[in-house]
Amino acid sequence: MGDKAANFNPDVFKKTAEEKSNARLKMWLEICAHCGLCADTCHFYLANERDPKMMPAYKAKKVLETINKKNKFDEDRLDDFYETIYGECTMCRRCTMFCPFGIDVASIISMARSLSASQGKVPKELLKAVEGHLESGNQMSITEEEWVDTLEWMEEELQEELPGATIPIDKKGADFLYVVNAREPKFYPMDISQAAMVFYLAGADWTMSRKGWDVTNLAMFMGDIAGATKIAKMVRDAAEELEVKRVVVTECGHALRSLQFESPIWLGRDHQFEVVHSVSLFAEYLREGRIKLDKSVFANERCTYQDPCNVSRNGGCAQDGREIVKYLCEDFVEMEPHGEYNYCCGGGGGFIPMAGAFKERRLKSGKVKAEQIKATGATICITPCHNCYDQLRDLSKEYELGIKVLSFKEMFEEALIIPEELKAKEDDEDEE
């Protein structure tokens, strides 16, 4: 499946490897004791019949051998390297938690991806999305006009039910800027009106932006740090121009990781705003009683929660998701393991947009997640991440799980208790 290396150049490869080898990577590649304790922490290893070639330390070893100046470097080696770093790791960082030395294999793979990118060898779907993002400001290449139209359309839809609700655009000095995944205006526009509904009911002072509204960052997964930096800067600039206190990230995992934790490193300074994931904001609203949910709506369902790696393990929001669940589900069963220790669903690391053989691998590596879900007996699997969401829907078909995959917003739409005075008065005209 390997996409051809657009600019194969061993010298550039070795030079980039030298540049990118920081003190941590050098230390990790040197001290790995080859103990093998990382093997069964990896969903690729477990889902591929415990194939030792799928264990994290083996992948790290392959990176080390590829960048070793003593070894011959040709296109065959690059092909093999490419298959491993893009096709056998979602950079979920689960193995790091279980490594006695705390070796961060995801960092090693991330560095390896930037080496592959230096050869122009990257999955073409990622490249297309990243190029589009850099050009248009979002990964789906939606024009500004289409974007504003979508927001207006969603506002109208929302007002049919809640006449007072609005979707503010470019409101300077708002409490927070809400940023989304470009999949939302493209495929799931209701996500936007659902969020607006929550914010309206909570009495939030919020805004959306004409620019820098797509908080996704596939360049991060592609290994293009320069591109990732530019993409993150679009969101940062929008937020700082609007002088908001916080930026609230939609139910998306890698977007949070990129904006909150990686981009301050790429951009060289802290943001002038706080970054908050939707789950944390929703949990805050529920805790403060600003929104109320009718638990009986899902009383006949058994729910479980898929911790997105970049929300729970790499985003620190594991508890917030659970707090929301308490207000929402009568019958809730945890997957084992869960929280920060949860397995990746297989859709992370840029896998969802990647097609062809990558998709087969994605469905196969999702076997671990499918079995985890099956064991809970759940009928609903909640997940606050677009990649998890798409992957779980595919897994439900592939492994016949018979589950409904829902985001928190989708559940809120049904369970939110709307005060009578805010509801549209349908009867007004029919009264006489």
Please name the residues in contact with 282: beta carbons below 8 A apart, sequence gap of 6 or more. Answer: 198, 291, 320, 324, 408, 412
Site string for other proteins, 320-349 (x = CB under 8 A): --------------------xx--------
- Single-letter code of the amino acid located at 150: T
Nearest CA-CA partner of 215 in 189, 186, 238, 194:
238
E strands, 169-326, are 176-179, 206-207, 246-249, 274-277, 302-305
Nearer Cβ to other proteins (15/53):
53
Rounded to whole angstroms, the Cα distance separating 228 from 3 reads 21
Question: Helix or strand or coil: residue 310?
Answer: coil
- Single-letter code of the amino acid located at 122: V
- Which of 69, 70, 100, 296 is close enough to bind other proteins by CB under 8 A? 100
- Asked if residue 312 binds other proteins (CB under 8 A), the reply is yes
Cis bond before residue 337 (omega within 30° of 0): yes
Rounded to whole angstroms, the Cα distance separating 431 from 232 reads 53
Q: Minimal distance in Å, beta carbon 96 to other proteins?
A: 6
Rounded to whole angstroms, the Cα distance separating 266 from 426 reads 52
Question: Helix or strand or coil: residue 331?
Answer: strand
- Asked if residue 377 binds other proteins (CB under 8 A), the reply is no
- Asked if residue 274 binds other proteins (CB under 8 A), the reply is no
- Which of 50, 210, 287, 423 is close enough to bind other proteins by CB under 8 A? 50
User: Which is it for the CA torsion 22, 121, 79, 105, positive or negative?
Assistant: positive
Instruction: Choose the binding region for other proteins from 34-42, 126-134, 247-255, 421-429 (rule: CB under 8 A).
Output: 34-42
Nearer Cβ to other proteins (26/295):
26
Q: Minimal distance in Å, beta carbon 249 to other proteins?
A: 14
Nearer Cβ to other proteins (103/385):
103
Q: Minimal distance in Å, beta carbon 84 to other proteins?
A: 13
- Which of 8, 14, 48, 61 is close enough to bind other proteins by CB under 8 A? 61
Q: Which of residues 192-211 bind other proteins (CB under 8 A)?
A: none
- Asked if residue 37 binds other proteins (CB under 8 A), the reply is yes
Whole-angstrom CA distances from 64 to 14, 71, 109, 321, 326 are 12, 10, 10, 38, 46
Nearer Cβ to other proteins (55/242):
55
- Asked if residue 44 binds other proteins (CB under 8 A), the reply is no
In the complex, the residues that contact other proteins under the rule CB under 8 A are: 21-24, 26-28, 30-37, 39-40, 45, 50, 52-53, 55, 57-58, 61, 96-104, 261, 265, 312-316, 318, 340-341
